[in-house]
Homo-oligomer: A and B are copies of this chain.
Amino acid sequence: MTATQPREALAAARDLAPTLARRAAAHDEAGVFPQADFDDLRAAGLLGLMVPTRLGGAGASFTEYTEVAVELATGSGATALIFNMHASVTGALAHVPDDVARSLGASDGYFAARDRILADAAAGALYAVAMSERGAGSRLSRLATRYERRDDGFRIVGSKAFVSGAGHADAYLVAAKAPEPGADGGPIVSYFLVPAGAGVTVEPTWDALGMRATGSHDLHLDVTVPTDALLGGVEGLALPLAQVMPHWLVASYAAVYVGVARSALEAASRHLRDRGLTQLPAARARIGRADAEVAAARLAVAEAARRVDADPAALDTRRWVWRAKLLAGDTAARVTASMVEAAGTSVTRRGHALERLFRDARCGALQPPPSDVCADWLGVAGLGGDPERDTAVPRW
């Protein structure tokens, strides 16, 4: 029943997609967490997708993650986005090689803590990400959330925005800033895995155009966590990690928007067939061009993932990650808009899949880094520059 290999996980995701799709309208309408979807994902073992097999998971690569994400998103974009956050936490932990962790300063206690977190995920724990803040976006260097060391651990105070799955996760990956800058004058940003519970409050701010069921509410933190909640057992890991694993912060949701676009293509095709409208030349041309565009975006996501698995920190990998993010976000927006036009007024009724997909898709290009920023970074790199250095805004 439980997927213990990536191939089984992919099959499980494909099997679950129609069920997710059936529930998607209701979750979207109410803007509620898709509990039934996550019950199914948990039962199928998908929460352990990124967890190494030695800890009870499926040990998936980033490529295998993207394939699962496309399938889940073909069913429900919102469910896939929440799942993406969980996969980011578990995938980043699972994929940082031990020697890299050590070279970044990970303490001895880190490995035990990491394994416990991952084993819990394989057993069904759900993690969320509490990174973005109002005013700072997803740029780590601008965070206002602070922590300070206490005898019994760390006290963390601050507020986070866009926390997908807020109120339904077992723990949150929280980025916070130390009270004093580091030796180099730069901010020290650390990651903590903060358990749900006292001191962690959800403010239901999420009521959005699309991806409504992600419940990406605000999270207010005034909490003291034990010492081993500090990820890596060492402070200041957030920025170096962002450098070696940019894909989890930047583009893991590219796969989600490919799934959304594919779903729109399928919904429009189904609608036209059901109405006997397959002979309309304009509708046919729209389907044909969307088909090619979705296929290309999917290839770009797969290629980015392949390179992430091979060499995550290479500049060329980052360029592929930005390409995948740009193409997936823009394709989803364009394709869903065109599919609504191919299918006509009747699909704008609330409850119709295309009505929801059109709204969900508009969010892709906006998620960080937005399409315009990806285009700028790709432009800098294409002109022989270094996006880290040559763009006005700090990237993290």
**Which residues of A does B touch, CB under 8 Å?**
162, 207-210, 265, 269, 272-273, 278, 281-293, 295-297, 299-300, 303, 319-320, 322-323, 326-327, 333, 337, 340-341, 344-345, 348-351, 355, 358-359, 362-363, 365-367, 370-385, 390
Contact = CB atoms under 8 A, between A and B. Distances in A.
* This chain's copy number in the assembly: 4
Contacts of A320: 295
A344 B323 contact: no
A136 to B, nearest CB: 13
Contacts of A374: 288, 292
A300 B296 contact: yes
Contacts of A372: 282-283, 285, 341
A349 B362 CA distance: 12
B365 A341 contact: yes
B348 A383 contact: no
A285 B376 contact: yes
Contacts of A162: 345
Contacts of A273: 383-384
Given A344-B370, A348-B363, A303 B299 contact: yes
Contacts of A348: 208-210, 362-363, 366
A205 to B, nearest CB: 8
A382 B344 contact: no
Contacts of A284: 375-376, 379-380, 383
Given A341-B371, A355-B209, A285 B288 contact: no
A30 to B, nearest CB: 13
B281 A281 contact: yes
Nearest to A331: B296
Contacts of A390: 278
Given A285-B372, A362-B337, A326 B383 contact: no
Nearest to A383: B278
Contact of A285 (B282, B337, B341, B384): B282
A362 B348 CA distance: 9
Contact of A377 (B288, B323, B362): B288
A379 B285 contact: yes
Nearest to A355: B209
A362 B358 contact: yes
A227 to B, nearest CB: 35
Given A348-B210, A366-B341, A283 B379 contact: yes
A19 to B, nearest CB: 23
A250 B97 CA distance: 46
B272 A383 contact: yes
A295 B359 CA distance: 26
B378 A291 contact: yes
Contacts of A371: 341
A320 B295 CA distance: 9
B375 A282 contact: yes
Given A209-B358, A300-B292, A362-B340, A382 B265 contact: yes
A385 B288 CA distance: 12
Nearest to A208: B348
B337 A333 contact: yes
Nearest to A272: B383
